[in-house]
């Protein structure tokens, strides 16, 4: 893994109300703005919208599949937009640098994004991952 290396781009969607409700059931997040159209509109929204942790979880899974779950050292994120039924999401990541320390394996800095069709960014993230020694295949790729 070197500066400039990119995670394989991944698309998800189009997002459906069923995706949202299934994630709500799995996560226990039953905020009605995510599943009750009338409630969402009364709250001043155009309609129901996706649960942010759903696409955050997909991004985390893609990161782990790329670098191997055992190599992820940190993962932080910021929601920058909402996701609506019908949206197609694209997940991307790029290595922005690699730091070496004499006492430890090198660590890659990775910037990640989730965008909607048309380019609107809905999530930005930063991660660090251990750079596996040559020949060490990350578990996510096995």
117-133 confidence digits (pLDDT tens): 988 999 999 999 999 77
Alpha-carbon span 15 to 116, nearest angstrom: 10
Percent of the chain predicted with pLDDT > 70: 92
Asked if residue 26 lies in contact with residue 54, where contact means CB atoms within 8 angstroms, the answer is no
33: tokens are 């703005």
pTM of the model: 0.88
What is the per-residue pLDDT across 8-47, written as a single tens digit (0 to 9) for each? 999 999 999 999 999 999 999 999 999 999 999 999 999 9
The separation between the first and the last C-alpha atoms of the chain, rounded to the nearest angstrom, is 17
Residue 57 main-chain phi, psi, to 5 deg: -65, -40
Superfamily grouping for domain 10-15+52-141: Hotdog Thioesterase (3.10.129.10)
């Amino acid at each position: 893994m070197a500066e400039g290396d990119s995670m394989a781009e991944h698309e998800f969607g189009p997002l459906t109300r069923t995706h949202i409700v299934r994630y709500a059931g799995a996560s226990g997040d039953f905020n009605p703005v995510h599943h009750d159209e009338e409630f969402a509109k009364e709250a001043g929204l155009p309609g129901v919208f996706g649960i942010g942790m759903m696409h955050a979880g997909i991004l985390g899974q893609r990161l782990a599949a790329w670098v191997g779950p055992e190599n992820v050292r940190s993962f932080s994120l910021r929601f920058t937009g909402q996701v609506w039924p019908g949206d197609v999401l694209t997940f991307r990541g790029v290595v922005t640098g690699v730091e070496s320390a004499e006492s430890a394996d090198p660590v890659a800095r990775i910037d990640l994004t989730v965008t909607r069709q048309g380019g609107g960014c809905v999530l930005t993230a930063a991660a660090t991952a251990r750079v596996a020694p040559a020949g060490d295949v990350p578990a996510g790729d096995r």
